[in-house]
Amino acid sequence: MEKMSLKELAVPMIKAIDSFNFLLKSHHRRTAVISYYIGKELHLKDDELTDLVLAAALHDIGALSVQEKKCLIEEDVLRPSPHCLMGCKMLSSFDAFGNIARIIKHHHVKYEESRQVEEGEILFQSHIVHLADRCDILVNPDLFILNQKKKVVEKIREKSGTLFHPRVFRAFEQVAKKDIFWIEINYLTMDQLFRRIDFSIDYELSVEKLVDFARTISRIIDFRSRFTASHSYTVAHLAYLISGYFGFSEERRTKMMIAGYLHDIGKLGVDPALIEKEGGLTDEEFNLVKLHTYFTSQILSELSSSVWFHEIVLWAERHHEKSDGSGYPFALDDSSLDEGVKILAFSDIISALMEERPYRKGMPSEEAFDLIGNMLADRLSPEMFVEIDNHRDEIEDMVKQCYAHSFEEYYSGRS
């Protein structure tokens, strides 16, 4: 396999999590820029700076529901810990992100309270992300940033020593004297920022690490709502299982699994309120949800120059296409859809039907398979469906296992 480094894989994902973020547009990028400036001023070592910038660029990923995200925008976060714990939980399964997960876990700890916590428990970068986060919230996006310098610094000064670490505040005060700091909060792109850091945790990824990373990303997508908490995880495991029935090699089965984990990454760009909506979607709302396949395609296109990833990207971006050309977004016909896409599409439908929705219970497998057989199999591949249907019991077991595993993780991260 040709090599892909962690940086090549992580940067497009982190950029996507920020720029496609429906509710907190650019907040991660801006907090990362502020953190970078403070970290530089404090002469953090390369590895500490890498962890700081990545943690800042991901710090609110644990804020899942609309409600949680709204309360983050308010100035004083009253009950911050669930989103900190969840963010930590989501990332800690990927070992290179261990420190990043810890920084996120404590990014709302007040300086005066941090001294009661055991020494070494809180990484210093948590204090930087804390101040950077509040700095961004204090900037009014409707007013030109350079006209707000004084007011923002004064507001933060009031809480130095209580909310904020005094050393972090002093570094912030220094960088805040320079216009370039404020200008770059608005204009520095995530790409430009990542080019400035050494990315000290970069290394060539093994296939196992690729799978681990894709699983970590899938949690960010799935855990936005309890109704989808197992979705990509289940699709990944079904795609791996079902591709075995069609003689796929172990390597291609693993690629199917990664495609399953990433196929709905574009949902990050869709309003989570639509996923939680009771009573089903209107046609207009469904059209908005359909956009997610286009976003998936955009996000993953940065990986498609890698020969190893090429197939994964094609499968993921085509998972709602149909053989008769009635799918979206490309309206491809059968000649463009290989077995891999169809396996992913079947896995997606099985998982979706058996999941609970705000407006209905999860379907028993009998009902789900009958419905697919009657309404959908013809538009994908009736022959393939016969083979899949032969393994109904095994598939049902797999769905149940995936549910049990995902919900345990979902609820344990929230307590």
Of the pair 41, 133, the CB lying nearest Fe ion is at 133
Query: Does 41 sit near Fe ion (CB under 5 A)?
Result: no
133 binds Fe ion (CB under 5 A): yes
Minimum separation from the CB atom of position 409 to Fe ion (A): 18
Nearest approach, Cβ of residue 274 and Fe ion (Å): 13
Tell me whether residue 205 or residue 262 sits nearer to Fe ion (CB atom).
Answer: 262
Question: With respect to Fe ion, which residue has the nearer C-beta, 4 or 288?
Answer: 288
User: Based on CB atoms, which residue is closest to Fe ion, 133 or 409?
Assistant: 133
- Of the listed pieces 148-156, 158-166, 340-348, 400-408, which binds Fe ion according to CB under 5 A? 340-348
CA distances from 30 to 38, 129, 183, 188, 286 (A): 13, 11, 11, 8, 31
* Binding piece for Fe ion, criterion CB under 5 A, among 77-85, 115-123, 128-136, 404-412: 128-136
Residues 182-211 that bind Fe ion (CB under 5 A): none
**Closest CB to Fe ion: residue number:** 133
Stretch that binds Fe ion, among 56-64, 151-159, 359-367, 399-407 (CB under 5 A): 56-64
Closer residue to Fe ion (CB): 6 or 38:
38
Phi first, then psi: what are they for 360, rounded to 5°? -160, 160
CA distances from 38 to 130, 170, 260, 405 (A): 12, 9, 39, 40
Cβ distance to Fe ion smaller for residue 16 or 205:
16
Read off the tokens for 113.
């309270």
> Given the complex with Fe ion, which of 65 and 205 has the nearer CB atom?
65
Nearer of residues 186 and 202 to Fe ion, judged by Cβ? 186
Query: If binding is defined by CB under 5 A, does position 348 make contact with Fe ion?
Result: yes
Interface with Fe ion (CB under 5 A), residue from 48, 51, 60, 317: 60
Choice from 264, 311, 321, 409 touching Fe ion (CB under 5 A): 264
Shortest separation between residue 262's beta carbon and Fe ion, angstroms: 10
| Distance in Å, CB of 282 to Fe ion, minimum | 18
Task: Enumerate the β-bridge partners of residue 360.
Answer: 357
CB of 397 to Fe ion, least distance (A): 20
Closest CB 59 distance from Fe ion, rounded Å = 6
Give me the least distance between CB of 347 and Fe ion, in Å please. Answer: 9
**Which among 14-22, 120-128, 168-176, 341-349 is the span making contact with Fe ion, rule CB under 5 A?**
341-349
Q: Is 348 exposed, middle or buried (0-12, 13-18, 19+ CB in 10 A)?
A: buried
**Bridge partners (DSSP) listed for residue 329:** none
- Residue 51 binds Fe ion, judged by CB under 5 A: no
Return residues touching Fe ion (CB under 5 A): 60, 133, 264, 348
